[in-house]
Amino acid sequence: MSAHFIPAASNALMVKHLESAGFNSVYLDRCLLSTQLLGTFDADLLSNQAYLNYVQHLTTVSDMNVIADAYVSDGSDSLRAQVTALQKAGCNAVVVNDANFADTKTFENALNTLNQATDDDDFTVIAKLDGFVKYGLNELQDRINIAKLNGIDQIIISSITNDDLVIIKAVINTAVISLIIDNAKITYFDAQQLDPEFILDTYHVYQGLNQAAKMISHNMIIKIFMG
């Protein structure tokens, strides 16, 4: 098991199994939890309160470090409130996604507000840079610098492929970079070549949820109609 790999989970049984397998951290991705609770990957349909309640339940079933998404749609104050709530819910770290902000300046203002409100050395804020494929390497570097200036040293780069990793190497020495496997075009092997701080996997968990749901439903139908 790679020391750099942190699996995602969407329910208590998965959390318990991962802990029993020797993992010491788990990622509660909001989209996966939305899929678990609502049957859709669209996290906008999962209310903040429902998300926070579910995260709190999952943190109680394990001693693993829990990383969760801090979701915001209406500014810095909302972000600060959610990060505080996730910390109280038992999370050890939160992921703040730059895709939730209209522009770089709004992202910077939010992180500045969050930096002023977060002073627990045992609690980590991670910046997730989601739009590299849209805004390119220069702005990626700008957003990394914004995060670092606001006290955030942990950076996750998402929505990339194996082909993008060569470009990402250009900024790997300027920050603590981690990666997300969230699509079929990035593999464990290639991601490891960057020696990231850690790798999160949400893609295969989502695939597993869909496959399990189909299999359970299929077996139920066979049992009902064929005995």
| 5-38 pLDDT per residue, tens | 999 999 999 999 999 999 999 999 999 999 999 9
Which pLDDT belongs to residue 138?
87
Instruction: Say yes or no to pLDDT of 129 above 90.
Output: yes
Average pLDDT of the chain to the nearest whole number: 86
Which pLDDT belongs to residue 23?
92
d(CA 94, CA 91): 7
Q: How do residues 41-67 score in pLDDT, each as one tens digit?
A: 888 888 889 999 999 999 999 999 999
Residue 98: name the closest of 49, 55, 158, 180 by CA.
Answer: 158
Average pLDDT of the residues in 162-182: 85
Share of the chain above pLDDT 70, in %: 90
pLDDT band per the 50, 70, 90 thresholds, residue 216: low
Alpha helices in the chain (DSSP H): 12-20, 30-38, 48-59, 76-88, 104-117, 132-149, 165-168, 188-192, 203-226
Instruction: Say yes or no to pLDDT of 219 above 90.
Output: no
Which pLDDT belongs to residue 1?
42
Higher-pLDDT residue of 212, 82: 82
pLDDT band per the 50, 70, 90 thresholds, residue 76: low
CA atoms within 13 A on the CB side of 158: 20
Q: How do residues 181-208 score in pLDDT, each as one tens digit?
A: 999 999 999 999 888 999 999 999 888 8
pLDDT band per the 50, 70, 90 thresholds, residue 218: low
Instruction: Say yes or no to pLDDT of 3 above 60.
Output: no
DSSP H or E run through 186? none
Which pLDDT belongs to residue 60?
94
d(CA 17, CA 160): 29
d(CA 159, CA 144): 16
CB 190 within 8 A of CB 165: yes
CA atoms within 13 A on the CB side of 224: 6
Average pLDDT of the residues in 156-166: 91
20 phi/psi in degrees, rounded to 5 = -65, -25
Higher-pLDDT residue of 72, 115: 115
